[in-house]
Every structure is written in structure tokens, then in C-alpha cells.
Amino acid sequence: MKLEPGQRFPDLDLPDHTDRPRRLSEIAGGDPLSAFRAGLGARFTFPSDPDGVWLEKVAAGCFHMKNCP
């Protein structure tokens, strides 16, 4: 999967902090999403990709990301 500028981000199905599968669209509820965690102690859901299944597919041109393959 290669994302291009202006392309819609895929509606991924990822586990939340309680390990419950959640779609990004379900979490967003129509609001914009951000792909980073702004700080510790935040009180909102953080989807995770512990096996790196999606990271490899969507992390194009991410040489600065330590988790990027």
C-alpha cells in the first residue's frame, strides 16, 4: 500500500488500549485523527499495531521514524 498526498487514509482495524478491535472511523466519530501520541496520561484511545502489520504498509518515506522498517 502506498499513500499519495490527498489520498484518503485506509480505515484500519486496530486494537485499542483494552485490546478491543476498533476501526479508525469509529474512534474519530467524524473528527480528524492524528497519527501520533501527544503525551502520556492522555484520556483517549490509542490504536496500536504491535506486530507492525500496518506500519510497513503505510510508512512510506519515514526515514526519521525509529520503528520504520
Nearest to 2 by CA among 55, 59, 46, 63: 59
Residue 67 lies in a domain: yes
Q: Domain range for residue 53?
A: 1-28+46-69
pTM for this entry: 0.41
Residue 59 lies in a domain: yes
pLDDT, position 59: 62
Higher-pLDDT residue of 62, 3: 3
Residue 23 lies in a domain: yes
Residue 20 lies in a domain: yes
Residue 2 lies in a domain: yes
pLDDT, position 49: 72
Residue 41 lies in a domain: no
Instruction: Report how many domains make up the chain.
Output: 1
Residue 33 lies in a domain: no
| Per-residue model confidence as pLDDT tens digits over 21-65 | 889 888 887 776 665 555 555 556 666 677 777 766 666 555 555
pLDDT, position 58: 66
